[in-house]
Amino acid sequence: MNTYVTDFPSRRGRRLRSNPWIRNLVAENHVTINDLIWPVFVREGTNTTEPVPELPGINRYSIDTLVEQVIKVSDLGIRCIAVFPCTPSNLKNETCEEAWNSGNLVNKTTQAIKRKIPEMGVMLDVALDPYNSLGHDGLVRNGQVLNDETLEALRKQALVQADSGADILGPSDMMDGRVKVIREALEKNSYQNTLILSYSAKFASSFYGPFRSAIGSSGNLVGDKKTYQLDYRNSEEALRDVAADIKEGADMVMVKPGMPYLDLCRQIKEKFKIPTFAYQVSGEYAMIASGIEKGFFDKNQVIIESISCFKRAGCDGVLTYFAPELAKILNST
């Protein structure tokens, strides 16, 4: 049914765009600070801030320095961060034991943050790539990424992360059945309230390159991840994976990358009515940040527009490296 029952000049669409107050009054979507999760990178050391060359304005922080940064963004109103480790190469191997070391970088970071800012939500990825000398998200044997053997490693990793105080676990590995294994382990070990934000629609994408450099895994990857991450040509396959993760116990689901996959965000939200997130990944950030540096984009306008597109597509929240800058923009309006 056509909802527009009048024609020009009785209907003039521009009347609702004529000035800022009316545009704000009839806006269909609004970005708030509560929509933001800030991804951060942690490294070994003390009192250290190390720029990531591939990500303008983004740094790797030692734990003490990262805690200081988290206090600052908490003051801006950001209430959730996602921590990713730059694991030293000597702690990486093909068996990935560092992933379930209770004293590894992300677990120590989580504990440090919870001591200083207990109200800050902390999300940790459940995947083996930061600890795998071959760069893959799962265990590898004879060139094959193993599914069922990897599930046991992910179960152990999830439990030490929950024990460290992580509020949200993000299975990003794309192994079949991993949400079920993690949820059952959490239930059996009295972590019933630990949330799972599953990377349910994670695609084999060219947009991840700067992230892999940031965590120190870009030179390690042998082959590619196309045997477990989704084919970017497929949407029905992505919907099947989302449905499976929800059935296995995911509380929330994610689309990754973000802006090139807004159609999936809309489909998932409309079909499943579940909290739906997207990750504005490193490649997306790098393109926008580079455009800002070169003067191609107005910084404030392009940042808020890019995140508003996620909201328009149905996302409840966004992981974005722009979170602190966007929070400053929102606080000033």
Q: For residue 306, which of 331, 326, 290 has the smallest C-alpha distance?
A: 326
The secondary structure of 277-288 as a DSSP string is EEEE-HHHHHHH
> Catalytic residue at 202?
yes
Q: Give the pair of three-digit tokens for residue 123.
A: 């999300």
Q: How far apart are CA 57 and CA 179, in angstroms?
A: 34
Q: Is 223 left (phi over 0), alpha (psi -120 to 50) or beta?
A: left
> Catalytic residue at 256?
yes
Q: Please state the φ and ψ torsions of residue 118, each to the nearest 5 degrees.
A: -60, -25
DSSP state of 263: H
- Residue 181 neighbours by CB under 8 Å, 6+ apart: 151, 152, 154, 155
Q: Is the Cβ–Cβ distance between 57 and 289 less than 8 Å?
A: yes
The secondary structure of 147-193 as a DSSP string is SHHHHHHHHHHHHHHHHHT-SEEEE-S--TTHHHHHHHHHHHTT-TT
Q: Which of 202, 225, 269, 311 is catalytic?
A: 202
Q: How far apart are CA 79 and CA 35, in angstroms?
A: 9
Among all residues, which ones are annotated catalytic?
202, 256
